[in-house]
Amino acid sequence: MRRSTLSARLGTETAFEVLSRARQLEAQGRHVLHLEIGEPDFPTPRHIQEAAIRALEEGYTRYTPAAGLPELREAIARSVSRTRGIPVDPEEVVVTPGAKPILAFGILALVDPGDEVIYPDPGFPIYESVIRWAGGHPVPLALREENGFRVDPEVLRRLVTPRTRLLILNSPHNPCGSVLEQADLSAIAEICLEHDLFVLSDEIYSRIRYDGAHHSIASLPGMRERTLLLDGFSKTYAMTGWRLGYGVMPKPLAEAVTRFVVNVHSCAPAMVQRAGLAALEGPQEAVDRMVAEFRRRRDVVVTALNAMEGIRCVVPSGAFYAFPNVSALDPEGDRFAAYLLEETGVAVLSGTAFGPGGRGYLRLSYAAPLPQLEEALRRVEEAARTFRL
Ligand code: PLP
């Protein structure tokens, strides 16, 4: 069958492939520990579930306005305004099923064929996929372990050309767990202002930070009007399966993104939007507890990895991923990752799932209960001793 060139340009996320291989092994009776998928292992807080049930009973079963229920857009505007210290008009908010559509529609609304887009490498694989889909030219921005996997503004500056349209930032970062501090963002903002760059700031892990507050480039002078800020409910409120996210962007861009919404999915599910409202306006203790637990696990995981022969791991400051360097065992990382799954039953992702910059690394998600992580670490330690290329 003949497929369109447009469909052939789309990439994918290896995490789902590894998950399906892990499930196959489980079906054969193998015991697999899942450190591959990026989703909190906690239940969605009860009051959010109850809000969705109430919404169903109250008749929130129909289409909503494409950009979202007015009360949810208002709550998001208040929340982003408070957390980023900037004024936000509800009309600048677009609600989507998960945050991923904001990435796709945002890039499609901003990038013309031939435009260059700078994105982090290693980084979330969907960035490169959608840049190519839009006909843009992806320009990887190397994040280096020596620099704590933060953006080096001088490296960024050297990548900018007259064709550069968009810069994608992700802090806290998937897969490295690095965060951009105020000084990093100021230096990056200076380059954006100097070269008239637009920024897609992926802040989906904004609430999962271990030391210090989250900073957004949108908060810096002159940046709000050139930033599409992406955030959502999946990670913060353990709501990955509900599919609810949003973008905050200048009104003309919000109109363009909403047009994609109208053409593709009409609106996010009404009862899920009501649940999102309860998430933003209700008690936040569950989020704090979850982040405290992630921090405890991070310390266990990173300490254990650093004690292993041939492995070293930078301490992540946010998100729930460890990104250990295993290049002494396997310069690529792919074969060690496959060995971990096939021989020891630990599902992880090879760093190469996040671009060439991930060569020689693994991504371990520590969104799993501590006893499972401890068992996984024991198996990884043994594998590091027995693995031969
Ligand atoms: N951005 C990053 C960096 C992510 O890791 C993810 C999810 O894994 C997303 C965006 C998409 O989030 P959602 O599940 O809300 O679509």
In this prediction, residues 150-173 reach a mean pLDDT of 98
Distances from the Cα of 350 to the Cα of 3, 24, 330, 356, 384, angstroms: 29, 19, 11, 11, 15
Instruction: Average the pLDDT over 261-272 and give the result.
Output: 98
**In one letter, which amino acid is 237?**
Y
Question: Has residue 13 got a pLDDT over 90?
Answer: no
Question: Mind listing the pLDDT tens digit for each residue in 351-368?
Answer: 999 999 999 999 999 999
Task: Please state which of the ranges 13-22, 60-69, 223-232 shows the lowest mean pLDDT.
Answer: 13-22
Q: Which residue has the higher pLDDT, 15 or 297?
A: 297
**What number is the average pLDDT over the span 111-127?**
98
Q: Is 319 helix (H, G, I), strand (E, B) or coil?
A: coil
Residue 14 has pLDDT above 90, yes or no: no
For 210-263, the DSSP string reads SSS----GGGSTTTGGGEEEEEESTTTTT-TTT--EEEE--HHHHHHHHHHHHH
Of 247, 230, 223, 281, the closest CA to residue 92 belongs to 247
pLDDT at 37 over 90: no
Mean pLDDT of 133-160: 98
Q: What pLDDT sits at residue 16? A: 84
Residue nearest to atom 7 of ligand 1 (CA): 38
Burial level of 43, CB count in 10 A (0-12/13-18/19+)? exposed
Residue 246 phi, psi (nearest 5): -160, 165
Residue 114, pLDDT > 90, answer: yes
pLDDT of residue 352: 97
For helices 100-110 and 125-133, give the axis angle rounded to 10 degrees.
40
State which of 16, 76, 100 you would mutate to test the pocket of ligand 1, scoring each by most atoms of that ligand within 8 A of its C-beta. Answer: 100
| Residue 100 Cα: closest atom of ligand 1 | 16
Tell me, what's the pLDDT at 15? 84
Residue 132 φ/ψ region, left for φ over 0, alpha for ψ in the -120 to 50 degree band, beta for the rest: alpha
Site residues for ligand 1, CB cut-off 6 Å: 38, 98-100, 124, 170, 174, 202, 204, 232, 234, 240, 245
Distance 99 CA to ligand 1 centre (A): 6
pLDDT digits (tens, 9 = 90+) for 279-325: 999 999 999 999 999 999 999 999 999 999 999 999 999 999 999 99
pLDDT tens digits along 73-97: 999 999 999 999 999 999 999 999 9
